[in-house]
Amino acid sequence: MNAIKYELIKVCKQSGARLGKLHTPHGTIDTPVFMPVGTQATIKSMTPEELKQMDAKIILSNTYHLYLRPGHHLVEKAGGLHKFMNWDRAILTDSGGFQVFSLGDLRKITEEGVTFRSHLDGSKHFLSPEKVMEIENALGADIIMSFDECTPYPADYNYTKNSMERTLRWAERGKNAHKKTDVQALFGIVQGGMYKDLRYESAMRTQEIDFPGYSIGGLSVGESKEMMRDILEHTAPLLPTDKPRYLMGVGSPDDLIDGVIRGIDMFDCVLPTRIARNGTAMTSQGKVVVRNANYAESFEPLDSHCNCYTCQNYSRAYIRHLVKTNEILGARLITTHNLHFLINLMKQIREAIAEDRLLDFRKEFFESYGYQL
C-alpha cells in the first residue's frame, strides 16, 4: 500500500498541462502546487496558522539541516516533524544530497556514500542512502526523497554519466532501506545533467526501480532558461502519467508556468522567502525592490491586484521604512505577500488548466509581469 495516491483530473487541451489531486496521509493537495521551503522546520518568520490562511497545503523541509541541528533522533522523540513544528498538513523532506554537495566541506564521495564536514562546526559526518532513509523515516514527512548527487553545472559527459549511474544504485539501496512505505512515499530522482540520452536512461531505469512519484533534479543549477526548458521538455514526458512529477528547486513565476506547461505537478524554491528578507516582492507587474528610494513616498500596496494581508493593510512606503530600519515585521510582511502571490499564481494556473486556456493565461501573465514572450 502506497502512502500517497495521485489522481489525474484532466489535461489542458491548449497546453498539455496536468490538473490533479495528490492524496497524502496529511490531506489532499490540488496540483500543480508550489511548496514553500522551511529549511530549519520553519518557513522563516511565518506561523503555521498564517501559512494555512494563505492556503499552503504542503511545505518542504531539509534533511541535511535537521540532521545536523537539532538531530533526527530529537525530532523523532518529539513525535516527528509534524508534531515538532505544529504543522498537521503534508510535509516533504529532500534527500540532503544537494546540501551535502553544496555546503559540506572536504567531501569525499565513494560508492558507499559521502563523507563530509559540517558547514556549522567542521564535525565529520557520513551519509549513505541507508543513513538518509533512517533520518527521513525518523523525521516522518509524507513524501521523502532518495539520496542523490545533484550533478553540478557544467559537468562533462563522463562525470555526469558516472554520477547518474551511482544515483541509480543509491536509489535502489534507499528503496530497500525505506521502513515506512505505508505512511511515507519515497520518490526517485532523475538526473543526467544536460545530456538528453542520460536523462532518458535515468528516467527509464529509475522507473524500473519503481517509486510512487518521480523528481527531476539537477535543473536550475546555473544553465540558461532555454537549456532548462529544453531538458525539461525532453524529460517530463518520459515519466509515468499516473504518478506525481516534481521539479526540484524551481520557483520563479515564469519557471512555474513553463514547468506546468511541460507536465510538472510539484515545485519548491527558497526564492520567495529569501528575496522577501532582502526587501524584494514578486508582484503581478514584476519584481518590486521596495528598498529602492523611488518607493519612499509610494503609499500604494506592494501589488494593487493582491488581496493578501500585507497588500490590504500596508503601503510600500511603510514596508520600505521597516526594511531600511531592519525591523522584523518588514521581512514578515513581504514573506506573507510573496508566498500568497505564488500560491495564488498556482491557483490561477489550475483554473486556467480546468478551462483549457493555460497558454492564454501565460501570455497575459507574461505581458503584465514583464517577461519577453
Instruction: Show which residues are catalytic.
Output: 94, 268
* Candidates 6-14, 65-73, 174-182, 304-312; binding stretch for Zn ion (CB under 5 A): 304-312
With beta carbons less than 8 A apart as the criterion, state whether 349 and 258 touch.
no
Q: Does 35 bind Zn ion (CB under 5 A)?
A: no
Q: How many CB atoms lie within 10 A of CB 204?
A: 12
Q: Binding residue for Zn ion (CB under 5 A) from 132, 232, 311, 334? A: 311
What minimum distance in Å lies between the beta carbon of 280 and Zn ion?
13
Cis? peptide before 154, omega within 30° of 0 = yes
| Residue in this structure with the C-alpha cell 511515507, named with its chain if needed | 184
Cα angle 342-343-347, degrees, rounded to a multiple of 5: 110
Residue 231 or 311 having the CB closest to Zn ion: 311
Name beta bridge partners: 124.
117
Q: Which is nearer to Zn ion, 116 or 295 (CB)?
A: 295
Give the x-and-dash track for 251-290 against Zn ion (CB under 5 A). ----------------------------------------
Binding site per annotation, positions for substrate:
94-98, 148, 191, 218
- Least distance to Zn ion, CB of residue 335, Å: 11
- Regarding 316 and contact with Zn ion (CB under 5 A), the answer is no
Is 56 a binding residue for Zn ion by CB under 5 A? The answer is: no
In the chain, the amino acid numbered 326 is N
Best CA proximity match to 2, nearest among 197, 228, 187, 193: 187
**Strand, helix or coil for residue 210:** coil
Asked if residue 308 binds Zn ion (CB under 5 A), the reply is yes
Which one of the spans 35-43, 47-55, 251-259, 298-306 is the region binding Zn ion (CB under 5 A)?
A: 298-306
Pairing of strands 280-283, 33-36: unpaired
Which residue lies nearer to Zn ion by CB, 24 or 335?
Answer: 335
185 touches Zn ion (CB under 5 A): no
Residue 337 interacts with Zn ion (CB under 5 A)? yes
Q: In what order do the strands lie in the sheet with 245-247?
A: 33-36, 266-269, 245-247, 213-216, 185-190, 143-145, 90-93, 58-61
Residue 306 sits in the site that holds Zn ion (CB under 5 A): yes
- Please say which residue, 202 or 310, places its beta carbon nearer to Zn ion: 310
Q: Are strands 90-93 and 58-61 parallel, antiparallel or unpaired?
A: parallel
Contacts with Zn ion, residue ranges (CB under 5 A): 306, 308, 310-311, 337
